[in-house]
Amino acid sequence: MSEKRKLGNSDLSVTSVGLGCMGFSHAYGAPTEKSEAVKMIRKAFDMGYNFFDTAECYIGTNADGSMSFNEKLVGEALRDVRDKVVIATKFGVEHSSMGLLTDSSPETIRQAVEGSLVRLGVDCIDLYYQHRVDPKVEPEIVADVMKELIKEGKIRYWGISETDEAYLRRANAVCPVTAIQNRYSMLAREHEKLFPVLEELNVAFVAFSPLGNGFLSGKYDENSKFEDGVDFRSHMPQYTKDGFEAGRELMELLGKMAEEKNATSGQISLAWMMCKKPYIIPIPGSRKEERLKENIGSKDVILSDKEIAVIDDLLDKMNMPVYGQSAKK
């Protein structure tokens, strides 16, 4: 398949697989040591990645008590290749002991964009997402701020993460939306109903957690342990004994296909969505060099319509509870 994909209605061309950078400082255990994180993000660029995803709220605590700001890591790693990469970041979410707090008020957005510009060390953000819909703020208000930021040259394009059709349409009517970033994988397919809308509006689908938070990589089993409190996978239902049992048939199918194509289960999982639609761009995250190479290598794996149908037929029959999606009734 093509090395690059056009990002919705923009003039940006991005690698068909992007890099989700969150795990270097947030949600997947202790943050990676700064110099190592910067080195690995830069290595990803050297491997061929040109699309990097971060957010203002991706913050972790280092072993010495200092804070690890994901945007700073991304900005430092890519500073000398700035004109060769597309950087996406997000606003409007704060992690707290009460869960996710959303704030997309115009005042907060303007404070957020200035902070992100400084941490990233850039003059303009390529793609700026509303991280989560804020029920207190109408989409037209958010879109109007985005229109102003584009005119001011602070951002080039904007997107919405975890949106539905109604919100997307209302926002897009005020300021065209370039991309949505929703959860999408073989284990989380509820947003496939948005495909016709995305095609109508010429909006890209950037897929986060495309490997089901690592489950579809085939690298884990029911004995795998994750650090409680700092690694989100420690509480994800797919990583329970029942989850592995429910996904066993799927993993066997992926393993068989991988063997036939001299690929890995993870590569089959990523190729599955990229071969479905030309505007889907998965952004798997990894902190390991071999996984980075494996993930971007999935662009060379081609699945036929028949092979995709075989996978979809099995997925339709599965009843597997996963993080971010309820089990089928």
- Distance of alpha carbon 260 from alpha carbon 78, whole angstroms: 37
Residue entry with tokens 């059709």:
165
Q: Is 58 a catalytic residue?
A: yes
Phi, psi at 162, each rounded to 5°: 60, 50
C-alpha dihedral sign at 102, 105, 21, 147: positive
Phi, psi at 56, each rounded to 5°: -65, -30
SS (H, E, C) 263-299: CCHHHHHHHHHHHHCCCEEECCCCCCHHHHHHHHHHH
- Tokens read off for 295: 């993930």
Closest CA to 33 of 291, 287, 234: 287
Single out the catalytic residue among 28, 49, 58, 323: 58
Closest CA to 175 of 205, 145, 136: 145
- Distance of alpha carbon 277 from alpha carbon 58, whole angstroms: 29
Question: Which amino acid, residue 273?
Answer: M
Closest CA to 25 of 49, 54, 60, 52: 60
- Tokens read off for 122: 């850039």
| Residues annotated as catalytic (active site), given as ranges | 58
